[in-house]
Every structure is written in structure tokens, then in C-alpha cells.
């Protein structure tokens, strides 16, 4: 529900709201033959200052690394058979504390994960891999992978379709994080898919909605009471 979870960066959020998330990237429609792929990989590797190189395989595919930033507003859930991940340490006690039931926690802001993937790895598979890395058991349909770019002091976000190939986009865009970076966010471009939530989560959302409704009603009554008082004073 609106207002749940940590605050996001207000400036960037405001900028993102002004963008067209469906506008295709310049490189999205680019097609490369085998020779061009090989040349792009050489150019890409020559521009990076780390060992996160791309490699061309004999079958024509290629492998490499992508970095994904997790910008989740709502908490995620871990299974009862798992222990709370180390990222959760400090928020609810020692990291060795066992989980008795399904437990929810907030991933820290700025959480970043590097994934080694193939050129044919799909966006939906990247989401699945990220959830496995953090032992998150929420339905993958709750999340979406976005490409983020900066141009003329404006932030652009575009939701990737399930079948899109992030490593291909990384190669075409080059290594610059300003030109292209990947972000995992809640899948909220349109109607919320409530079927993807568990019964305990839905009951919790209902309680949150009730509290929000009660607070809005209290504020509304207070506003009208003040208005009524001002009118009576004027009379």
C-alpha cells in the first residue's frame, strides 16, 4: 500500500515520474552479427577497470556480469527453514538467530548484486536468480527489472519484458552506469497483482489500509472542525 516501507530518494523519484517507462532505448532495437558482437566485446573489455570482463563462447553466445541495484520499498520474506540473512543483522538481533516462521525484513538501501549471466539469460531469470541469492521466497511476479539511464539531468526508467536479455543490453550500451544500469523494484506499473501475495500478507495490508483510512478521516474531521470554528468566530 502507498506509504509502506522506507522513504525513497525524493529527488530521483520525482524525476522518474516524469519519464516514459515504455519508451524504447536507442540500443534496444540494435541487431548485431557475429563479427560485430566480437568487436563490441573487445571494446567493452577495453573500457572497464575491473576483471568483470565479457567472454565470447564457441557457440556464438557470450557471458559477462551485470550489476543490479535493489530498490525495494516493501519488505521481503525468507523461509522458515532459513536463517535471517546477514544483511538483516543489526535490525532484529544477532545474525545467528533462527527464523521460526516466514519472516519479513527490509533489504538495506543501496543493496547491489553482481550476477554472471549468459547473453541469452532473460530478465525473468535474472529476477529469479536475485531472489535465490537473498533466499527470498516471495512470488517473482511481485518484482520487475528496470533499465535506468541518465540524460540531460533527467532519469529514465523502462521496465524490461520477461524475454529481454540484460547482458545484450549491457553490451550494446557499454559499461557506463549512467548510460545504463539495472534496478530491481516492485512490479507496480499498473494494477497490483494481489494474487501474488499470501493470505498473511493480504491481512496485514488490510490492517495497514484500515489505519491509513482512520488517519485520513481524523485529519479530514480536524480540518472541517477548524473551518467551522473560523466561520463561527467570524459570525
Indicate if 106 and 216 belong to the same structural domain.
Answer: no
CB environment 166-201: b (16+ within 10 A), e (fewer) = bbbbbbbbebeeebbbbbbbebeeeeeeeeebeeeb
Cell matching residue 142: 511481485
Task: Give 77-118 pLDDT, tens digit per residue.
Answer: 877 655 555 554 444 444 444 444 677 778 887 899 999 999
Indicate if 140 and 223 belong to the same structural domain.
Answer: no
Residue 181 region by backbone torsions, left for phi larger than 0, else alpha for psi between -120 and 50, else beta: beta
Give domain status of residue 120, yes or no. yes
What is the C-alpha to C-alpha distance for residues 59 and 62, in angstroms, rounded to an integer? 9
Q: pLDDT tens digits for the chain (235 residues)?
A: 433 334 444 445 545 544 444 555 565 667 888 899 999 999 999 999 889 999 999 999 999 999 999 999 888 887 765 555 555 444 444 444 444 467 777 888 789 999 999 999 999 999 999 999 999 988 898 999 999 999 888 999 999 999 999 999 999 999 999 999 999 999 875 556 677 778 887 888 888 888 888 988 999 999 899 999 999 999 8
3-state secondary structure of 163: coil
Give domain status of residue 152, yes or no. yes
Indicate if 178 and 110 belong to the same structural domain.
Answer: yes
Domain hosting 59: range is 16-78+101-191
Indicate if 209 and 184 belong to the same structural domain.
Answer: no
Indicate if 108 and 223 belong to the same structural domain.
Answer: no
Give domain status of residue 93, yes or no. no
Q: How many CA atoms lie within 13 A of 52 on its CB side?
A: 17
Amino acid at each position: 500500500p502507498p506509504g509502506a516501507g522506507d522513504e525513497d530518494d525524493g529527488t530521483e523519484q520525482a524525476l522518474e515520474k516524469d519519464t516514459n517507462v515504455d519508451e524504447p532505448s536507442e540500443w534496444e532495437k540494435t541487431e548485431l552479427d557475429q563479427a560485430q558482437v566480437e568487436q563490441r566485446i573487445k571494446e567493452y573489455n577495453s573500457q572497464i577497470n575491473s576483471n568483470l570482463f565479457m567472454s565470447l563462447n564457441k557457440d556464438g553466445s557470450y557471458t559477462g556480469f551485470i550489476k543490479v541495484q535493489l530498490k525495494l520499498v516493501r519488505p521481503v520474506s525468507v523461509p522458515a527453514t532459513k536463517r535471517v540473512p546477514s544483511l538483516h543483522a543489526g535490525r532484529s538481533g544477532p545474525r545467528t538467530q533462527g527464523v521460526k516462521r516466514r519472516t519479513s525484513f527490509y533489504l538495506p538501501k543501496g543493496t547491489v548484486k553482481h550476477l554472471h549471466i549468459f547473453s541469452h539469460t532473460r530478465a525473468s531469470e535474472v529476477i529469479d536468480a536475485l531472489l535465490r541469492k537473498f533466499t527470498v521466497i516471495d512470488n517473482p511476479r511481485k518484482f520487475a527489472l528496470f533499465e535506468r539511464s541518465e540524460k540531460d539531468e533527467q532519469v529514465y526508467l523502462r521496465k524490461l519484458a520477461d524475454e529481454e536479455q540484460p547482458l545484450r543490453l549491457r553490451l550494446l550500451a557499454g559499461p557506463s552506469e549512467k548510460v545504463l544500469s539495472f534496478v530491481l523494484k516492485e512490479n507496480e506499473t499498473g494494477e497490483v497483482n494481489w494474487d501474488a501475495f499470501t493470505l498473511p500478507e493480504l491481512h496485514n495490508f488490510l490492517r495497514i489500509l484500515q489505519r491509513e483510512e482512520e488517519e485520513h478521516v481524523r485529519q479530514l474531521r480536524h480540518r472541517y472542525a477548524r473551518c467551522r470554528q473560523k466561520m463561527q468566530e467570524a459570525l
